[in-house]
């Protein structure tokens, strides 16, 4: 099993550009989440999904969109990048029976100039 | 008041020391308590998971939960340089409309010096 994979590992964007961060898991987990991690702020939940076709907002959803068309994939879209979105982004997944045991991907380091 | 408070450190100890990491929380509905370990430039990985109050031991690691004081701890015995990482506490209450929201502390950076 590859677990949770994220692409790209690094990305530099200019203000106003859009992009999609990819996340995939091969553990057949129902639940998937996106977090951002900033110095001094810890991990903050952006969006999450409890199954294909179902998504909901987390603590900091503004400026981000998600969709979940398959169990495996949960992409995060930045609509119009802003410097405040410079961060490290982590995707995580967990099963319905292991609801507290989240498996994290390796992260995407995003810089917006 | 933040839901979960965790001293960010940094904490530096000599090899072999006993390390104590702590979090306090304000939401009395939290029932599930986790500790994640995050190495530099990596994603967090689950280290320990406890439900409600009590102790749980796994090798050199012991997790304690005191719900009456809203206080959780992670103890590392015989600490090793390989334990150098950031430790994040996390907690949840699945009574919140079925959402899957873990609330994380900000993490404590630990360095174990050889």
Tokens (6 digits) for B38: 């995050």
**Measured distance CA(A94)–CA(A76) in Å, rounded:** 17
Segment A54-66 mean pLDDT: 94
Dihedral of the alpha carbons of A18, A21, A22, A23, in degrees to the nearest 10? -150
> Residue B37: its pLDDT value, please?
97
Evaluate the CA torsion angle A17, A37, A42, A72 in order and state its sign. positive
Best mutation target among B8, B43, B95 (most A Cβ atoms within 10 Å) is: B43
Segment A17-45 mean pLDDT: 93
Segment B89-111 mean pLDDT: 78
A40/B106 CB distance under 8 A: yes
> Residue A43: its pLDDT value, please?
92
Q: Is the pLDDT of residue B98 over 50?
A: no
């Amino acid at each position: 099993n590859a677990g949770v994979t994220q692409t790209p590992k690094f990305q530099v964007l200019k203000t106003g550009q859009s992009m999609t961060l990819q996340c995939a898991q091969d553990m057949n987990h129902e639940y998937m989440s996106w977090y951002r991690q900033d110095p001094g702020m810890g991990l903050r939940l952006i969006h999450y999904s409890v199954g294909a076709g179902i998504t909901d907002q987390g603590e900091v959803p503004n400026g981000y969109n998600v969709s979940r068309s398959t169990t495996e994939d949960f992409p995060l879209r930045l609509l119009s990048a802003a410097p405040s979105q410079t961060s490290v982004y982590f995707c995580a997944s967990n099963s319905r029976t292991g609801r507290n045991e989240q498996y994290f991907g390796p992260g995407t380091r995003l810089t917006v100039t | 008041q933040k839901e979960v408070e965790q001293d960010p450190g940094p904490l530096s100890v000599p090899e072999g020391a006993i390390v104590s990491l702590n979090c306090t929380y304000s939401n009395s509905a939290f029932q599930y308590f986790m500790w994640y370990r995050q190495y530099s430039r990596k994603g967090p990985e689950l280290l320990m998971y406890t439900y409600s109050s009590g102790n749980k031991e796994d090798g050199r690691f012991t997790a304690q939960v005191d719900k009456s004081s809203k206080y959780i701890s992670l103890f590392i015995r015989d600490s090793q340089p390989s334990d150098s990482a950031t430790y994040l506490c996390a907690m949840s209450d699945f009574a919140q409309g079925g959402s899957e929201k873990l609330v994380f502390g900000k993490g404590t950076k630990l360095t174990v010096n050889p």
